[in-house]
Structures are given as C-alpha cells and as structure tokens.
Amino acid sequence: MVAVDQITKSIAVAQLDRGDSVEVIGSFLTFDLTTNSGGSFSMFQGSTPILAVLAIGATGYLIHLLRSTEDRLSVAGLTLLLCGALGNLGDRIFRAPGILRGEVVDFIRLPNWPTFNVADMAVTFGSIALIASLLFEGRAAARANADAAALDVSLTGEPGADRCVDLQTDAEAAANDGSPTSDESAPQR
C-alpha cells in the first residue's frame, strides 16, 4: 500500500501541472496536483516538522498495537492506518523543501471533498475498519453478557441467584460429607 501511494504520487508529480484538472470520470473524479504542508484536510498548514515527529510516534505506536492484536478486522484497520501514516510520512521526510519539512502530494479530487491521495484513503478505510471492529467487539461482549444473564435466570428463576445456589450447594455438600465449611475451617482468634 505504501508503494502504491508513493508510485501514484510520483506519477501525479511527473504527469500533472499545478492548476490543471484532468477529468477521470467526468467532473465526479478528477486529478488535480496540490501539495499540503499541514495535516488532514489541509489543517495546521506550515506545521510539517511537528506533524512529521507526531507521525513517527504514531507509527511506532501502531506497530506496537499490531503486535498485540489478534482480531482480523482490527489487524486490517491498524495495517491500513500504518500504511497511510508511512506513505504521508515519506513525503514529509523526503519531498521538498527538505527533511521533516516536505509537503504531502495530493491529487485525487471528488466533488465537495478536499484533495487527497492513496495514503489518505488507507487512513480513512483503516479508521472505518477499526470502528467496525470496536462495534462488533462491543456487540459480542453485550451478547455474551446477555447469554450469561439468560443462563443465570433459566437455572434459578432469578437473575444473579446462581451465585447464592453455588454457595448453598457447597455448604450443603460439606455438611453431608463431614468436611468443614469455609466458616468452620477459618482460624479462630
């Protein structure tokens, strides 16, 4: 994904002139070469060194998260985020005007949307995948809790009563076999 991002940016820089608009799918999708010294959606213009350092930190953190994540959708989301961060970080490090001051190349334009690149697409789709993963994880946890509560009620007729039944059953079993209950085995003071 990082390679695709860098290759498409290189082609855009070589083939497009600033200010020219090449229609790809009518006026719906055009290629317009721009550079961005700021962050997403051209926010924080002129903050390239700060954004580059933050991107380096974010890259390290994403790698750490990837090592400890097993959920496939989360892995896909984190991988896309990492690829997007690396793609734009490459521009900030290696493109003009200099190391950690380079401007990000954007060239894809849709109506009523800021110009973007393949790395931005990776960040967007990675974010969507992570949100979906969190939603599915939350639903799975809620479903597991609901299943546990339903089992609880079906066994005892009352929510939470199974815990009382377990304690009572342990005490009855101890009384029947002559072994001490937890109260009897406690040291006396």
Tell me the catalytic residues. 106, 120
Write the secondary structure of the chain as one string of H (helix), E (strand) and C (coil).
CHHHHHHHHHHHHHHCCCCCEEEEECCCEEEEEEEECCCHHHCCCCCHHHHHHHHHHHHHHHHHHHHHCCCHHHHHHHHHHHHHHHHHHHHHHHCCCCCCCCCEEEEEECCCCCCECHHHHHHHHHHHHHHHHHHHHHHHHHHHHHHHHHHHHHHHCCCCHHHHHHHHHHHHHHHHHCCCCCCCCCCCC
CA quadruple 118, 123, 128, 134: dihedral, nearest 10: 150
